[in-house]
Amino acid sequence: MNPACPELSPFLLEAGLLDRAGALLSREGFGRCVLLTDQNVAQAWRPTLQAGLSPLRQDWIVLPAGEESKTLDRVREVYGRLLGLEVDRQTPILALGGGVVGDLAGFVAATWLRGVPFFQLPTTLVAMIDSAHGGKTGVDLPEGKNLVGAWHPARAIWADLRTLRTLPRREWAGGMVEALKVALLASGDLLAHLEILGQAPDPGLFPEPAIRELVLRAAGIKRAIVGRDPRESGERALLNLGHTLGHALESAGGYRGFTHGEAVGLGLLAALRLSGNRGLLAEASDLPGRVEALLAAWDLPRVLPGSLRWEVVAAGLRRDKKRRAGRLVFVLPVGLGRAEILEVEEAEVRQVFEELRASEGSLELG
């Protein structure tokens, strides 16, 4: 842990880390652990990690996959399992999976016995470059995403690059959206790198050095911002680019209509349109087209379904955690590598919402 910024967990990224997890955990002084994962990840990686953790005592809690598991009801179920396993304050919880598993396991670790040690073992691109870093944990309510949560940074983040090889293309696409987000915030070079990667038909063919560079560069941008603003009192709020509308879209679909990456991708397009409508992109007028082309390369939606009602989305926006005195707050790009946090009128967002629905039925649905 970085003493200057406790939210910045030590980050280790290499192939084969799951095989060494037992040695890494023993080095931290632990002889027992509880693994929290989902059914999909367990099927792919449980045997590898079980062998890697030998001879430590290990107990596994396997949850259904998907955002639908990130609820207080599921947290209560996990508490019951921990009680039955007699998990004490010296027993670490390890999150093996993507953002949903990491958020849920982190919240459980933050609240069980007022806090137990926590380690992140991210297996998705989204988790490796974004959600595993920065100490945020949380669960959803029916009314909105991540409305209940706690700050509880991992003792360490151990990311095994091999796990990315088993990701379906749709999961890769979601990770690319998070990488695109930080590229828009801070790095034109990373945006160009993403455009090169977007030309490959199969992410499984990416050479390992290219994947490693992508993860390190994207995660490095987030970690630098977190290091300067650990508790989101200023600059860190920029990392919400695309997420204000994105979270509202997820909630409107009952967390089944859009994946997180699909919703945030649409949120990025909305933020760029808001900026363009305000005349903030005069020096980067090509950005909306570049972003739309990248979303298209990853078969991500670029327009909203006609069945989606503004009133439902607006209700989600009004519950957003970042509102100020009842006003909507959006992160808006003002150039390549630059963005600002600005208050916007609900009417502005509705206009963009209608613009994104205008092409319904076109070939741009992805």
Statement: residue 119 has pLDDT above 90? yes
| Residue 260 designated active-site | yes
Compute the average pLDDT of residues 330-357: 94
Tally of domains within the chain: 2
Give the number of other CB atoms < 10 A from CB of residue 114.
Answer: 7
Is 67 part of a structural domain of the chain? yes
| Percent above pLDDT 70 for the chain | 96
45 lies in some domain = yes
Whether 2 maps to a domain, the answer reads: no
Same domain assignment for residues 160 and 174: no
Range of the domain at 244: 169-365
Residues 211 and 159 in one domain: no
> Is 210 inside any structural domain?
yes
Burial class of residue 82 (count of CB atoms within 10 Å of its CB; 0-12, 13-18, 19+): buried
Active site residue: 7, 67, 171, 178, which one? 178
Same domain, residue pair 296 and 278: yes
| pLDDT confidence of residue 1 | 65
- Same domain, residue pair 116 and 182: no
For residues 131-137, average pLDDT: 96
Residue 111 class from Cβ within 10 Å (0-12 exposed, 13-18 middle, 19+ buried)? middle
Identify the pLDDT of residue 143.
83
Kindly give the interhelix angle for 346-357 and 310-318, rounded to the nearest 10 degrees: 140
Catalytic residue among 181, 240, 290, 302: 240
At 363 the pLDDT is 36
Token pair of 173 as six digits: 């696409």
The percent of residues in the chain predicted with pLDDT above 90, rounded, is 82
Q: Are residues 105 and 233 located together in one domain of the fold? A: no
Q: Which amino acid is at 63?
A: L
pLDDT for residue 200 is more than 80? no
- What confidence score (pLDDT) does residue 365 get? 37
Which listed residue (152, 155, 247, 290) is catalytic? 247
- Confirm whether pTM is higher than 0.95: no
Give catalytic status of residue 146 as yes or no: no
| 136 is annotated as an active-site residue | yes
Please check whether residues 49 and 184 belong to one and the same domain. no
Residues 210 and 339 grouped into a single domain: yes
CATH number of domain containing 98? 3.40.50.1970
- For the record, the structure tokens of 167 come out as 């990701």
Task: Say whether both 192 and 336 belong to one domain.
Answer: yes
Q: Is residue 173 part of a domain?
A: yes
Pairing of strands 136-141, 144-151: antiparallel
What's the rounded mean pLDDT across residues 81-109? Answer: 98
